[in-house]
Every structure is written in structure tokens, then in C-alpha cells.
Amino acid sequence: MNSVRMGHRKTWALIGIVASVAVAVASPAEAARRKVKSSGGGYTPLSASIVVDAKTGKILQGENIDEPRIPASLTKVMSLYLLFEQLERGRMRPDTPLTVSAYAASQPPTKLGVRPGSTIEVDDAIKAMVTLSANDVSVVVAENIAGSEDAFAQMMTRKARELGMSSTAFYNPHGLPHEPPNITTARDLSVLGRAIQDRFPKYFAYFQTRSFQYGSRTIRGHNRLLGKVEGVDGIKTGYTRLSGFNLLTSVNTDTRSIVGVVLGGRSGASRDQKMAALIDDHLPRAYAGARTAPAVFENQPALVAEAPAPRLVETAPVAAPVKVASATPQAPVAQASTPQATPERKPLDLNTLRPVVASASGASSTTTPSSVRWQKGQEPLPLNAQAYAALPSPAQIPVSQKAALQAKIEAKAVQPAPATTTAAVTKTASLKAEAPKAEAVEPKKVVTGWVIQLGATDDEDKAKAMLDSARGRFGKVLGKASPFTEKVTVDGSTLYRARFSGFSESNDAASACKQIKKGGVNCFASRG
């Protein structure tokens, strides 16, 4: 048994190195030669699923959570993550026009139909990707951010590594078939589903869009759980013939919060039914108290909390640095070879369901258990929806390529190695061990009274992102406090403190910081 496990680990490591190198060196021409214009047939992926308690990080349910799977249009969630970064940093605005290239316009359906040489505003681009799962618009976004689809795919994979998605590799921004294919796992997608909410609470609302107006057209989405299952507020569906029907779902009620993933569904209806059943079974088990898990951000030195200054209200040291939640289960999760524990409800037998053609109608005939809490008397809102990329039935890929892909997936043959450099690890370790020392401070703002510090980062944009996120989540607690960054130098390293000023009393600052900590964000109070 040990030798078999060792062999699997060696195989994953070897393929991971090859895949990482491929991401780094692939040219646009080489990538174009590798693209597969059809999604092929004959491969029926085993289903995979996971439900994670977003407040604690605990896995409530898991099935094949670390088995490699093709994400299909769930890929677009990472593309939107990078686009939200551009908005957050002020490099783009919702009304920023994005130029459409001939290559972007040539993408296969599902597509919005943008014309070469035209432009589309960022706001419309986001809605088109969320609702219609528009492949042409995904490439427009990629080219306008990174210059090319290949360069953007490399950014996507790097971001996955920073978030702790160690088994994920991207080769395009939309999830269409590609050789090698985009690869991920249910666990990795649950991390992404939590991270995009924690990092961009303001922009996450886009994933609630059921429809939007584009010119004279009304674009409607296909996420049938939005507005029907209580608490569902996003986020994305996906489909190709090789991936099956996929769904990443966020559920937030007044007291509980979970993220669920279903991969490899036999039809849109069976996929939706399975997700509804998972929500019904596991949402009541989610923690109803204050959040205990840290927010899911990039796991970089930039997010290591700075050591407290000498004049602290709290005598205890700053809490441990914010790290990416790994969604590690409290007990080992059964894999494909181990029978799952029998739930109270009768498990769904997906094998008895007839596959359907990838189309909007295929995803609409959703049947759900009678015990699921459907919202009654609610018509779809004027705005809102999500969709999978409904591809036309393509020709089969060559047998040799299909066999290679199936062998690659079934043998766990894709797990790119984390792109963490030795220098980055060394820098992280040194920042974690940093003790209070003399600092060279570059005055940027005269601050009186008391302040709350969330942390320190070596990137001013990330410090501002921390402030924006905290303002979005703790607006009532922070009141009229003013966010600002303060540049300091510690032993030759430049850091940017993320702070809120405007607290006249130490008790006010300490009380606000206590509430923020209850929400899962580290902070400390200090005189300005």
C-alpha cells in the first residue's frame, strides 16, 4: 500500500512539474496548436462534491474532493477574480471600454456576439460572463488585462497558487476544451468560492444577476437555484461533454454560510437536484455563531500581520498571520475507493438518470426534494442569473487524445507544483518572526486619537484592498472611521500599514477591533 501511495505521489509531482513548465513557456502559437476545437465524447467523469462551512472552514460533506476534474465554465470565476482586482485597484472602472479582437470574437458558443473592433464596458462584460457564460467576452477580458489569452492563463494559475489551490492549472480564461485541459478539484473550487466573497464583497453581488439588458436584448441566465432555494446567492455553473454538469454555489442565511461544489453531473437537472439536497442536508449542520475561520486571501508575505507597536491597548500579541483556509476536514474524507457514510436521506442514484443535451432547456427542468426550503411567491428579480457554457454537440476528438486525457484524469496525473519560490518562503518566515524594532516612518497623514490596524503588507494596493474589504464587511462597526495606509520601513523592508483612524477613545477602538476579530479578521488598536 505504501509503495502504491508513493508511486501516486511521484506521478503527481512529475506531472505537476511538467504542467508548471508548460504554463510558463507556452507561446500563443504553441497554445493555438494545442487547442481542441471539439469536446469529444466517451468520458464519463465520476461525480465529485464538497460542502464547506464558510464560518469555520470545516468540511461538512466530501466525495472525491481531491480527484482531478475539468472545471468547464467554472473557470470564469477565476477570470472574474482577476477582473475584480483591476476594479479594486482603480485600474479599471465599471464603464471602462474593453476592446474586442478578431480572435476574441471568433470564440465558439456560448457567446455574446461582440464584433471585432467594437468595445464592451466592464460592467456588461461581467454580467455577460456571469449570466450567459460568454466565451468571447472572457477572451476580451483576458486580452485587455494581460495582453493575450496565454499570459492571462498564467496569471490565473499563479493566483490559484497564491490562494492555496495547489491542484489547479488554467490554460484559457473560459473553460472551453483545450489540450492540456484546465484541471482543478472540488476542494480547490470551494477555496475559490470562499475567497472571491471574502476578497470582493462589493463585486460578489454580480453573481446574483439573473438577467441583464444588453442593447435591445435581454440576456437570461441558467442558474435555477437562484431565487428558488433559500439562501442561495450565487455563484456559477459550467458544462462541457468531458466535464459533465458542474455547479459552484454559495449559501448565506442570517446565521449560517456554506459553499458547495458539484462536479460531473449527468444532466443539468440532476446536478441541481444534488446541490439542493446537499444544501438541505448540510446547511442545518453549519455553525450559527460568529465566524472563526480567517478570511481567505492570497497566501503571500503581503498578508503577514505586522508585529504590534509598543503602545497597544491589548497586551496580547497580534493573532497569527492570515493564511489561506485549506478546508481540511476534521476527519479523513472518504475517497472513491472507500464507501461513503450513508446519509439520513436516500442518496441520489445519478446512474439512473438519462444524460441530456447541453442546452438551457436541459438545465431548467429541475426536480428537488420536497424538504428543500424553496422561497415562495418570489418572481425573478429584474436583474440576475448565471449560466454554463452550453456547447453544441461537437465531433469526437481523436481516440489517442481522448485516451490520453482519460488516463491523465483517472490516474490523478495533473497536479502542478506550487509556484512558491525559496525567496518568498524566506521572506515570509522573516516577516512572521519580526519583533518590534525601530522603524523609519514616512509621514503621509497626521493622525490623532486612536487607530485600528488590520495588518501590514509590502504592496500598497493590497493594503487598500484589506481596508476596502473591512469597510464592506464591518461598515456599522467602523462607523465614520477613515481608512488610510501608512508607509514604514522595518530593517530595510518597506511595508504599508492598513489602518482606520477617527477613534477618540481607546475603548471605542478596542471595542470596534473586538467586533472585527469576531468576524474573522485580525486587528489591534493603538494611539495614532
Binding-site residues for substrate, please?
A: 236
Is 73 among the catalytic positions? yes
Kindly name the residue from 49, 73, 211, 267 that is annotated as catalytic.
73
> Which residues have C-beta within 8 Å of that of residue 215, sequence separation ≥ 6?
none
| Secondary structure of 260-319 in HEC code, one letter for each residue | EEEEEECCHHHHHHHHHHHHHHHHHHCCCCCCCCCCCCCCCHHHCCCCCCCCECCCCCCC
Give the residue ranges of DSSP H helices in 66-185: 75-88, 102-105, 122-127, 135-146, 149-162
Question: 53 in helix, strand or coil?
Answer: strand
Residues annotated within the binding site are 236
Q: What sign results for the dihedral spanned by CA atoms 239, 47, 296, 281?
A: positive
What is the C-alpha to C-alpha distance for residues 179 and 173, in angstroms, rounded to an integer? 14
Sign, CA torsion 180/185/189/191: negative
Pick the catalytic residue from 55, 76, 127, 159. 76
Q: What is the Cα–Cα distance from 224 to 132, expressed in whole angstroms?
A: 13
Residue-wise DSSP of 207-220: GG--EEEETTEEEE
Alpha-carbon distances, residue 466 vs 294, 295, 393, 527 (angstroms): 13, 10, 45, 20
> Given 133, 138, 190, 250, which residue is catalytic?
133
Contact 116, 105 (CB under 8 A): yes
Q: Is 76 a catalytic residue?
A: yes
State the residue for C-alpha cell 446567492. Answer: 233
- Furthest-apart CA atoms within the chain: distance in Å: 72
Q: How many CB atoms lie within 10 A of CB 395?
A: 9
Residue 370 is a catalytic residue: no
C-alpha cell at 25: 513557456
Three cell numbers, residue 148 = 493575450
Whole-angstrom Cα distance, residue 209 to residue 127? 7
Instruction: State the cell numbers at 328.
Output: 481540511
Ordered strands of the 524-527 beta sheet: 439-442, 482-490, 493-503, 450-457, 524-527
Q: Which residues are catalytic?
A: 73, 76, 133
